[in-house]
Chain A
């Protein structure tokens, strides 16, 4: 009976020891998402693996620099990521980058410009008295000179 308790004890110690080792070796990573910018901070990971698929097919690898930081801009969508330090590959996490449709009319003395201030490609229609009179497609940050009248409506393209 004593031997059995010893064996169970040894196994428990072994298990605890392994879990402690895993805890210390586990790549601990924090992520901050600010609009399209995803910023990873880690104390012991070398690489962040990112994929658009939960099974991590077609992954991309983001190298973490010496300061423990890595940042990248992602297009709107759902992404899966895990940290890796060459010893342990971390658990799967999810990031959702929301699509943002935004338009701005910037008026100066001589002209008016329509700017895509969102993070996706947009189709902008121009209406006058309820009738569609124009149409333009703008990439993020792209601008176009416009007539300062009517109504401009922006919607996600594609």
Chain B
């Protein structure tokens, strides 16, 4: 190999190595720095909240969590009842009833969550509150909607519920 080519290869290797080191180092540092803090640190950063606004929101959040946990417990218990009804070979009507109850509980959970989002959004400055509410609806309700839409579409694979 020619001397020039060797030199360029070595220089390129050094440059690539240093650039990779800089890229991953900076990425890790920034990711760690931005993700640091508790569950609510994102709210402060994203919606530029003051200390007093954060304090109010923290209180709401801490008030909401036990309700959320309780609801999760009820949903998990109902889920077990549905599974038990299906496993015991109980009548279809009984299993259906349990499924309806499970669906109702999930809807209640979502409604409670929405109420919490609205409450939090009111503790924020107007514009930020609207943005927060829209973002939360997109991330939580939109997530389920996305799944339902994908199931409702008529995919080429034949999967999905669109043809039923």
Mutual binders A and B: no
Residues of B bordering A, CB below 8 Å: none
